[in-house]
């Protein structure tokens, strides 16, 4: 039975518009089950590739992104280039261009509103026809025939309604936006779909093998000439590791993960994501330069294999590997280039008709040795050696750092090969995975990028730069260095954008400001340095790049904090950064990673202390007593307490032991809490030690100042408390009890609006319906003779956490017009013109009431009073 495309579009629209994930899943399940009941033996390949176009590996690329698609539709529809509709299509991410339609989704949604009055009604075109058109699009793109691409789109435009065009665009852009992940969509089709796709990377194979959801696929096999998701390595912090036994260590290579399939003289090449690059390398020794070299290295008796490894760039003149940081794409290297492709094999999963995934790594490596003869610059074995203890692993990592390598990969010799698994016995160790191994850089925001999806229309990434001085030593230009979009929370980003948003300028290629030094990477918007902010950024390493003006860029940058305390001209300079590059040899690490303290489990010197050894003894109060000082407090420091013990003949230790008389703890930390919880020692406050010294006698431990004690000690203290004559001991005063309450060094925390908003976001997923105006400032415009008391709107606004401004200031967001009898607009206009700030919006009082009724901040556009 032929599936009508319009019905498919209505299904997608229903799923996309639903906010309940359970409803989305139910609707899709009912649709697929209905199709199965009508056609039990049907192949659902087309349906799967329509629901998951980004996972489709059978069809080539269309070569069409949003900007290209916008130009094509402007040309097809003959839209005026400077007209409103053309502007909306070309600048769909800019919120000012789509505000009139209240569009907050994507390009397809914007195009839908433009096409709505230009397209006909729903047609009976079926999925097969659309699928054929998409095949033709991919073929014409591969044939470099843009005119034919236009013809195909014109043909579809004439046949389809606006809704059908909307979902066609999403198919072309490979972003269906259904609100469901890959796993859920595949599970809806068959419970084993995801597992099979992981090892095959083929929707065709999923639809062919898994037709009946009641028949499970119990065993997955890796097949020749079918790509699969390779086994992955788990991240490991070397400072926290504790490996025992024998391990293999491979060099961590900085290339492209590849798999090579071979049988009877035929080769196929696949990337880690399942894309085929056989055309780039050659199917046999007659059709490709690289394959002609590789074929000559295959040993006699080898009929078939699948190799897993890294495709690297080999510099023929320097006789060494080059990294991806040098902007080398190993998939596009040509004959005669100084850099040629070289495959570094580190595993084999298929050999002479047998799948090897169930064999341990040590056995697979023996088979790998018999497959090919290594040749520099063509195919080699990944450098590997065996270690037996942690010190050898640490030494290997530091050697990798010295050799400017990415790191090392640790592998269990008995590990099985598990496709797409990250927790199966392989561990990658890089310097940046270790605590304290990275440098933090203060960089200036010089540009911004609009986001997609939920962040559409909002800046969510920044272009960062370095200050560059002129001959006079002044910083008048800024050199682009990197792009960053992670490390901050939504609230932190919102707070930063609130400061930056008024100062953004649209980037125009022909009108680049003089201070902005750019290369290939261009921002969507830019900002003047004096209006900008400094970000503290952490990165794993610095690599060469021609995308940015400085010639280098940061790898895996992330924001540590926004430096509001720093002035815009306090950012890092080009000279200082060049020194960092030179000092760390292009690696942003503090040299070698050090072995963690007491790594071999040796005894710690319990008498070790930071207290000076030349403390003069002045008494015998603590003679023969071993006292452990953990922390001091706001009254007396740890060092001062240690001096008191040493002056009175005592012994100070850092770790409590069997002979320890007592433990002194002031400020709380994790270590103190652990000692208290153990209940092996008497833990008391610094006041006990000070009182002993002041009174020159050992004061018995009292329950009111003891934080913890062994059970027998507690019983003894309780008996002593009953026998003590209360007339001979001072009673604990209320003041002393209050003094014992620990106060944080920074004082008790206060709940700022930012903190409360973050808490509400965690609780409600958005603003609380009980404090919808939190953080909003409003000035209520009214005639003083009519209002000698708060209006209903003011009471509601304040009750819902709004802030009422007595006068209009720079923080005022809204001016609310209240007067029931009507206000002349000229009066409001005169008032507003006298205000020092013009950043507010003038709205009618009904906006307050409607927000309250709907229990959320609603769009204010329809409530704006135009002067």
- Give the active site residues: 252
Side-chain-side CA neighbours of residue 567 (13 Å): 4
Two tokens, residue 120 = 């006909």
Alpha-carbon distance of 230 to 233, in angstroms, equals: 10
Query: What does the alpha-carbon distance between residue 699 and residue 258 come to, in Å, rounded to a whole number?
Result: 74
- The answer to whether the beta carbons of residues 843 and 815 sit under 8 Å apart is yes
DSSP state of 482: E
Q: Where are the alpha helices (DSSP H) in 566-724?
A: 574-583, 638-647, 670-678, 686-695, 711-723
Backbone angles phi and psi of 491, in degrees to 5? -70, -40
Q: Supply the DSSP string of 831-852, one letter for each residue.
A: HHHHSS----EEEETHHHHHHH
The end-to-end CA distance of the chain, in Å, is: 61
* DSSP per position, 168-225: HHHHHHT----S--HHHHHHHH-TTHHHHHHHH--HHHHHHH---TTS--------TT
CA of 27: how far to CAs of 31, 548, 781, in Å? 6, 47, 50
**Continuous segment of H or E residues that includes residue 664:** strand 660-664
Nearest Cα to Cα of residue 712 among 733, 631, 720, 494: 720
SS3 640: helix
- Comparing CA positions, the residue from 671, 657, 605 lying closest to residue 626 is 657
Give the length of the chain: 867
**Is the CB of residue 655 less than 8 Å from the CB of residue 620?**
no
* Sign, Cα dihedral of 701, 703, 705, 708: positive
User: Pairing relation of β-strands 626-629 and 651-653?
Assistant: parallel
Calculate the alpha carbon distances from 626 to 139, 621, 654, 716 in Å: 84, 12, 10, 21
From the number of C-beta atoms within 10 Å of its C-beta (0-12, 13-18, 19+), residue 616 rates as exposed
Q: State the maximum Cα–Cα separation within the chain, in Å, rounded to a whole number.
A: 107
Rounded Cα–Cα distance for residues 594 and 381 (Å)? 30
DSSP 306: E
CA–CA separation, 152 vs 142, rounded Å?
A: 14
Radius of gyration (C-alpha) of the chain in whole angstroms: 35
Beta-carbon count within 10 A of 264 CB: 7
Contacts of 273 (CB under 8 A, 6+ apart): 201
Buried b (16+ CB within 10 A) or exposed e, 94-120: beebbeeeebebbbbbbbbbbbeeebe
Checking DSSP bridges between strand 407-411 and strand 247-252, what pairing results, if any?
A: antiparallel
Nearest to 220, CA basis, from 239, 199, 242: 199
The neighbouring-strand residues paired with 551 are none
835 burial level (CB within 10 Å; 0-12, 13-18, 19+): middle
């Amino acid at each position: 039975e032929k599936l009508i495309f319009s019905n498919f579009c209505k299904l997608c629209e229903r799923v996309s518009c639903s906010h309940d994930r359970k409803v989305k899943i139910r609707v899709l399940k009912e649709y697929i089950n209905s199709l199965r009941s009508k056609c039990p033996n049907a192949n659902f390949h087309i349906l799967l590739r329509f629901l998951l176009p980004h996972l489709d590996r059978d069809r080539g690329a269309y070569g069409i992104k949003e900007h290209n698609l916008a130009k094509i539709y402007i040309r097809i529809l003959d839209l005026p280039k400077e007209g409103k509709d053309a502007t909306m299509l070309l600048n769909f991410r800019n919120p000012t261009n789509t505000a009139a339609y209240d569009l907050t989704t994507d390009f397809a949604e914007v195009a839908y509103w433009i096409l709505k009055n230009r397209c006909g009604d729903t047609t009976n075109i079926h999925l097969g026809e659309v699928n054929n058109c998409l095949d033709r699009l991919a073929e014409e793109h591969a044939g470099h025939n843009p005119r034919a691409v236009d013809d195909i789109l014109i043909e579809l435009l004439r046949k389809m309604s606006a809704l059908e065009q909307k979902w066609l665009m999403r198919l072309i852009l490979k972003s269906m936006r259904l609100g469901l992940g890959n796993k859920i969509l595949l599970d809806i089709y068959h419970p084993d779909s995801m597992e099979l796709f992981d090892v095959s990377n083929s929707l065709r194979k999923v639809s062919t093998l898994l037709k009946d959801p009641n028949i499970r696929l119990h065993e997955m096999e890796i097949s020749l000439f079918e790509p699969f998701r390779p086994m992955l390595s788990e991240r490991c912090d070397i400072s926290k590791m504790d490996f025992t036994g024998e391990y293999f260590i491979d060099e961590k290579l900085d290339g492209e993960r590849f798999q090579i399939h071979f049988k009877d003289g035929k080769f196929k090449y696949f990337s880690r994501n399942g894309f085929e690059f056989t055309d780039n390398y050659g199917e046999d020794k007659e059709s490709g330069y690289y394959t002609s070299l590789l074929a000559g290295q295959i040993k006699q008796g080898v009929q078939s294999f699948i190799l897993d490894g890294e495709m690297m760039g080999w510099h023929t003149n320097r006789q060494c590997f080059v990294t991806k940081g040098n902007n080398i794409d190993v998939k596009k290297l040509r004959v005669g280039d100084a850099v040629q492709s070289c495959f570094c094999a580190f595993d084999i999963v298929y050999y002479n008709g047998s799948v090897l995934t169930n064999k341990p790594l040590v056995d697979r490596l023996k088979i790998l040795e018999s497959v090919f003869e290594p040749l520099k610059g063509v195919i080699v074995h990944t450098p590997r050696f065996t270690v037996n203890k942690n010190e050898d692993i640490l030494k290997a990592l530091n050697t990798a750092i010295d050799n400017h390598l990415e790191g090392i990969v640790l592998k269990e010799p008995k590990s099985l090969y598990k496709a797409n698994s990250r927790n199966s016995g392989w561990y990658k160790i890089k310097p940046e995975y270790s605590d304290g191994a990275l440098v933090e850089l203060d960089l200036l925001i010089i540009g911004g990028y609009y986001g997609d999806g939920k962040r559409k229309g909002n800046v969510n990434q920044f272009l960062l730069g370095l200050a560059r001085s002129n001959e006079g030593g002044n910083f008048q230009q800024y050199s682009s260095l990197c792009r960053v979009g992670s490390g901050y929370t939504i609230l932190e980003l919102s707070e930063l954008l609130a400061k930056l948003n008024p100062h953004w300028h649209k980037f125009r290629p022909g009108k680049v400001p003089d201070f902005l030094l750019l290369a290939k990477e261009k921002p969507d918007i830019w900002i003047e340095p004096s209006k900008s902010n400094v970000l503290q950024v952490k990165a794993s390493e610095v690599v060469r790049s021609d995308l940015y003006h400085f010639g280098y860029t940061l790898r895996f940058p992330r924001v540590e904090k926004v430096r509001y305390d720093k002035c815009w001209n306090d950012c890092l300079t080009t000279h200082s950064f060049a020194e960092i590059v030179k000092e760390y040899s292009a690696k942003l690490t503090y040299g070698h990673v050090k072995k963690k303290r007491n790594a071999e489990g040796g005894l710690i010197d319990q008498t070790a202390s930071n207290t000076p050894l030349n403390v003069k003894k002045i008494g015998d109060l603590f003679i023969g007593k071993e006292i452990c000082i953990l922390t001091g407090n706001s009254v007396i420091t740890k060092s001062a307490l240690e001096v008191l013990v040493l002056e009175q003949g005592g012994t100070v230790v850092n770790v409590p032991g069997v002979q320890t008389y007592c433990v002194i703890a002031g400020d709380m930390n994790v270590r103190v809490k652990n000692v208290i919880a153990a209940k092996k020692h008497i833990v008391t406050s610094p006041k006990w030690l000070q009182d002993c010294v002041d009174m020159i006698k050992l004061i018995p431990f009292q329950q009111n100042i003891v934080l913890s004690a062994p059970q027998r000690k507690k019983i003894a203290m309780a008996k002593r408390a009953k026998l003590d004559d209360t007339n001979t001991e001072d009673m604990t005063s209320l003041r002393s009890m209050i003094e014992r309450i620990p106060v944080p060094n920074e004082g008790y925390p206060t709940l700022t609006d930012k903190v409360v908003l973050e808490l509400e976001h965690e609780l409600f997923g958005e603003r609380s319906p009980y404090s919808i105006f939190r953080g909003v400032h409003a000035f209520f415009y009214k005639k003083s003779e009519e209002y000698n008391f708060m209006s209903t709107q003011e009471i509601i606004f304040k009750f819902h956490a709004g802030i009422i401004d007595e006068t209009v200031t720079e923080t005022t967001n809204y001016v609310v017009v209240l007067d029931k009898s009507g206000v002349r607009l000229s009066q409001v206009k005169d008032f507003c013109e006298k205000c020092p700030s013009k950043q507010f919006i003038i709205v009618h009082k009904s906006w307050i009431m409607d927000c309250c009724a709907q229990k959320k901040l609603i769009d204010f556009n329809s409530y704006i009073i135009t002067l």
